[in-house]
Structure 1
Amino acid sequence: MTLEGFAVVADIGGTNARFCRINLATFELDRIQVFACADYPTLSAVMEAYRDEQDVALEHVAIAIACPVESDDVDMTNHHWRFSIRGLRKAMGLKTFIVLNDFAAAAMSLVTLEPHEMKQIGGGKAKTHGPKAVVGAGTGLGVGHLITLPDGSVMPLPGEGGHVDWAPTNEKEWAVFRFMANRFGRVSAERVLSGPGLETLYLALADYHGRNVAPITAAQIGQRALAGIDTLAVETVNQFFASLGSFAGNLALTANTTGGVYIAGGVVPKLMGLMATSNFRARFEHKGRFCKVCEAIPCFVITAEHAGLRGVGQYLKQTLAQSEQRIADND
């Protein structure tokens, strides 16, 4: 396969499936379309819908998907789609079919970002070739890392960091922890730091205050908090950002992310109006003897549109370039 013509790339989350066409010569994206995952019984069905509605050929396809990709069998964490990579490639007659974890794609997107496509939240200057972490709250909580190799290429390191234990740090958080433990058994970071987590956090804080409230959606919590018309919603969002700061600081220490910690996902950009006044950065830096280390590491909120699609495209670009180089070396 040479770097010419077009391919189709997709970013598949637990709620939405984003597709676009990519020009293999210029790597420009067009024909972007978003589908609700719940409207389609299988991944192949939504791929066919994109093909038919956009009148594009499905020959070379690369997708990022919200679950581990460690074998031929892929089973989504927060949705019911399950498929065989080889089986789907054969069934749809694809010449190329690359499947990678969605936060491997999010990590790859970091090299495509321009300064105006991210907002820095504290810290110093990111080291260009330093390790980077990306964390994103949406339907779930995704985590990935990006390292630069000696030859200048980059390697994404996908993981399931969103499923580590959530660590309460004060009396209120212990109350939230007990509320969630009674509901779920184990309390992972994703139970707090996600859209569904925001909804449960709202109920947990109401319980902490001895209030009886009706469940509301994450979107409603965000709207009420931004408008300042619901003190419980404001407290919920502030608690979300405080816990996100602690979690992001842990990532910074784990991989010494001198290249920065990057916040992706659908939740945070919508709540940016409350992030600056929250304890996000204070909790990021509150690391005891290693406060100074975290104080130097910058955080960025990614504001670019379709960063996941760009990350898949970047991964495809690098994969194809490396493949062509191997072919040239063997000639």
Structure 2
Amino acid sequence: MKLALVGDIGGTNARFALWRDEQLESVRVLATADYPGPEQAIRAYLSELGLAPGAVGSVCLACAGPVDGDLFRFTNNHWRLSRSAFCRELQVRELLLINDFSAMALGMTRLRDDERLPVCPGTAEIERPCVVIGPGTGLGVGTLLALADGSWLALPGEGGHVDLPIGSPREAELWQQLYRQLGHVRAEDVLSGSGLLLLYRTVCALDGHEPRLSSPAEVTAAALAGDAVAVAVLEQFCCWLGRAAGNNVLSLGARGGVYIVGGVVPRFAELFLASGFTRCLRDKGRMSDYFEGIPVWLVTAEYPGLMGAGVALQQALGRS
């Protein structure tokens, strides 16, 4: 494949890299707020590397949101993209747009052993689906399937927008507090960076604490320092993530394994590994035994979405 460019564009950051010989080169992270659109961000990226538009023949962008048609509106930032205008402006021959969690799922196929931590032991059944789920700016959910020809299929979806699952009286009380603020309560409303702060404020309101933390980073830092309220918030966050992941496993028959990804959970990995995540993952009544033997990993790789975008481009151009 000729020199190509891959991007992983979320709500806050856009990650770009060159893709050559099935490897990432020259990774850069740009703030989406600093550019009016993806064309301007990519021009700045290429300029930094001394490359002009037209230097890359193919581009794959992993984008947050459903991908369809010529015009794409990014879900969690102000950017818009017209496929035809993009290709003209940057002199690109092939443009592949894929859902960001399709890219994340494909990135799991290139993980090294030191880029994931075991959460639940087990043996992946290679012919069965894998669930890829992770809180970041939003909550992403993807499905990964191994195909008979050795390639991979990533199924896009909008699983972060399903209803927040309720599995205990305490969670029902928290849900009622959330419902009074939001109306419909999505999983993403809690299981995301901003959702962590919302959950903290909701716990404080329910339990009569004066909220003193004002950002997700402060909640995480307070929990790591032993603050009892913040620890309880992270514990509930992990339990809800377990319930959401478990629902996906049952819906998909995902005995191929579960990958926990995204930028939020690795920041408190030790607390996560000691949390009620596994208990809530498997808390499915008569179907609880279904989870025996399904492996779960916490992914610590730095750029799995970019790697997955490269894999998608390889497969799309028939060079895998």
Normalising by the smaller structure, the TM-score range is over 0.9
Residue aligning to 1:220: 218
Correspondent of 1:307 among 297, 300, 304: 304
Residue aligning to 2:276: 279
Out of 149-158 and 188-197, give the one that drifted further.
Answer: 149-158
Residue aligning to 1:8: 5
1:120 deviation in Å? 1.4
Secondary structure of 1:144's match? strand
Question: For structure 1, which runs of at least 5 residues remain unmatched after alignment?
Answer: 325-331
Say yes or no: does 1:43 pair with 2:38: yes
CA contact (8 A) 2:239 2:275 kept: yes
Out of 72-81 and 280-289, give the one that drifted further.
Answer: 72-81
Aligned-partner Cα distance in 2 for 1:264–1:66: 15
Aligned-partner Cα distance in 2 for 1:275–1:288: 23
Which AA in structure 2 matches 1:15? T
Residue aligning to 2:233: 236
Which AA in structure 2 matches 1:14? G
Residue aligning to 2:142: 144
Residue aligning to 1:73: 71
1:250 deviation in Å? 0.7
1:214 deviation in Å? 3.8
Which AA in structure 1 matches 2:178? M
1:215 deviation in Å? 4.8
Aligned residues: 317
Secondary structure of 1:296's match? coil
1:59 deviation in Å? 3.0
1:305 deviation in Å? 1.6
Residue aligning to 2:266: 269
Aligned-partner Cα distance in 1 for 2:214–2:146: 43
Correspondent of 1:54 among 31, 44, 49: 49
Deviations 1:136-165 (A, max 9, x none): 110000011011223232111010000000
Secondary structure of 2:122's match? coil
Q: With structure 2 as the length reference, what TM-score do the two structures score?
A: 0.95
Q: Cα RMSD (Å) of the superposition?
A: 1.4
1:45 deviation in Å? 1.3
1:212 deviation in Å? 2.4
Aligned-partner Cα distance in 2 for 1:191–1:295: 29
Aligned-partner Cα distance in 2 for 1:181–1:215: 22
Matches within 5 A, 1:138-217: 138-217=136-215
Secondary structure of 2:61's match? strand
CA contact (8 A) 1:241 1:279 kept: yes
CA contact (8 A) 2:7 2:61 kept: yes
Deviations 1:218-276 (A, max 9, x none): 11111111121x21111110000000011111111111111101011000111102012
Out of 61-70 and 213-222, give the one that drifted further.
Answer: 213-222
CA contact (8 A) 2:243 2:281 kept: yes
Matches within 5 A, 1:101-116: 101-116=99-114
Aligned-partner Cα distance in 2 for 1:173–1:89: 48
Shift >6 Å, 4+ stretches: none
Secondary structure of 2:26's match? strand
1:130 deviation in Å? 2.2
Aligned-residue identity in percent: 40
Out of 276-285 and 215-224, give the one that drifted further.
Answer: 215-224
Aligned-partner Cα distance in 2 for 1:135–1:280: 13
Aligned-partner Cα distance in 2 for 1:233–1:292: 32
Aligned-partner Cα distance in 2 for 1:58–1:227: 47
Secondary structure of 2:88's match? helix
CA contact (8 A) 1:164 1:189 kept: yes
Secondary structure of 2:123's match? coil
Which AA in structure 2 matches 1:132? C
CA contact (8 A) 1:287 1:294 kept: no
Residue aligning to 1:19: 16
CA contact (8 A) 2:126 2:146 kept: no
CA contact (8 A) 1:172 1:208 kept: no
Aligned-partner Cα distance in 2 for 1:186–1:54: 46
